[in-house]
């Protein structure tokens, strides 16, 4: 591999991958947050249903 070509490919490739990983992680975190809120409200609804 030509060193010049490698230096051209290297950083940008890594940067793009890092961005994608960050995006995936953040979307996964927000998804789990939403899921947590949903399950909490479901639990509340169940409690209310049993209380009445």
Provide the 8-state DSSP code for 3: H
Distance CA 26, CA 34 (A): 12
pLDDT of residue 45 exceeding 60, the answer is yes
More confident residue, 42 or 12: 42
Tell me: the pLDDT tens digits for 25-44? 888 888 889 889 999 998 88
| List of long-range contacts for 2-7, beta carbons under 8 Å, 24+ apart | none
Q: What pLDDT does residue 27 have?
A: 87
pLDDT for 3: 55
What is the per-residue pLDDT for 25? 85
Residue 8 is predicted with a pLDDT of 59
Q: Is the pLDDT of residue 6 over 70?
A: no
Every domain of the chain and the residues it spans: 15-52
């Amino acid at each position: 591999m030509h060193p010049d070509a490698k230096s051209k490919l290297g950083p940008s490739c890594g940067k793009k991958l890092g961005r994608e990983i960050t995006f995936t992680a953040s979307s996964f975190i927000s998804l789990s947050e939403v899921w947590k809120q949903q399950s909490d409200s479901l639990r509340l609804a169940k409690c209310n249903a049993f209380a009445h």
